[in-house]
Amino acid sequence: MHAPHREVVSRRAYQALVHVLPPLADVRLSGGGVLVQGEPSRLRWIGDGWLADVRRALSPDVEHPQVAVARRMSPGARKALTQASIGWVDETGAAEIAIGTLVVSKSGRPKVQRPSTWNRSALAVAEALLCGTNATVAHTERATGLSTGSCTNALRFFTEKGLLVADAPRGRKSARRIADFDLFLDSYAATVEKVDPPSVVTVGVIWRDPASGLTKVGQQWDALGRAWACTGTLAASVLAPHLTSVGTTDVYVDVDTVAGLEAVAAEVRLQPIEGGSLNLRPFPTVTSRLLSRERQKLRVAPWPRVYADLRLIGVRGEEAAEHLREVMHAR
């Protein structure tokens, strides 16, 4: 049984719905709810629109919406809502809804978004905090190798956003801590989604077992003093097994250019090839490199970065990402 629930439709959700409906559609607010063609409809804003947001909206202790609205519905979120027979709308103009006799299906036009306040240093400090580093300048300096100024600015930024809090302004209880771990992780991962994708070089490999194949290549890079770490589905298969197959292997290496990536491939006798199954990318932050750890003979990127990367590769990736979150929370 769903608990009785009466909520006021947010202006943002209402405007997104109006945007996707035909001009002659009769849509209006009524008593804190919304009427579409005279039909009452439970409309709810669920946030960014990731699979995790949908799962919260569909928890058994709340009344489920008839139409979920978000900033941009991910493939995993769309699938989950469709399976639950719930319509959805997002701010790109995409929608799949059926209200009475009104049926709307639109693909939308995603906008290119760039974070206005997060920067590369903030991402690096966030990764360190999510991995358990204390929220002090000294501790984040040691974990990230960033300057005092960069760490100070990042911690101040997170505090101003309400992501970090302190129990007291001064004294023993003045140390900052993460206010809400899930909110911090979601904010970090959403920012990773918005930044320009790093350079990538795809190479051809014929590995039957990606873990074993990358282990052998990694040993060659280790001998050359080359830092590397896997992310994506292969890293998730080590940290929190969920998917039955790995597919494409994604690896970070310590270079910054396409030419550098090609040189790193050449070091281990691999050649760039379109449609290959091994993707080489530069480390996105200093923390992604410094906090990588060896697990089952593989170098694995920090789990928050793996989580963020998984969310970018479709429905299977999102499902693996949420499984990873659950496993890491349980530890």
- What is the average pLDDT value for the chain, to the nearest integer? 87
64 near 89, Cβ under 8 Å? no
CATH 1.10.10.10 segments of the chain: 120-194
Distance CA 287, CA 165 (A): 22
Distance CA 279, CA 300 (A): 15
- 201-330: CATH topology is Beta Polymerase; domain 2 (3.30.460)
Distance CA 252, CA 261 (A): 10
pLDDT of residue 32: 65
pLDDT of residue 199: 87
Contacts of 159 (CB under 8 A, 6+ apart): 165, 166, 176
């250019």: which residue's tokens?
257
Distance CA 188, CA 167 (A): 23
CATH 3.30.460.40 segments of the chain: 201-330
CA atoms within 13 A on the CB side of 274: 0
In this prediction the pTM is: 0.78
Ramachandran category for residue 71: left, alpha or beta (phi over 0 → left; psi -120 to 50 → alpha)? alpha
Per residue in 126-166, pLDDT (tens digit) is 999 999 999 999 999 999 999 999 999 999 999 999 999 98
Could you give the 3-state DSSP secondary structure of residue 207?
coil
Both structure tokens of 278: 């091994």
Per-residue model confidence as pLDDT tens for the chain (331 residues): 344 444 556 788 888 888 888 887 888 887 667 888 888 888 889 988 999 999 999 988 888 888 999 989 999 999 999 999 999 999 888 989 888 777 888 887 765 554 457 899 999 999 999 999 999 999 999 999 999 999 999 999 999 999 999 875 655 555 789 999 999 999 999 999 888 777 899 998 888 899 999 999 999 999 999 999 999 999 999 998 876 677 789 999 999 889 899 999 999 999 888 878 899 999 999 999 999 999 988 999 999 999 999 998 888 889 999 999 999 987 7
Both structure tokens of 221: 């890079």
- 120-194: CATH topology is Arc Repressor Mutant, subunit A (1.10.10)
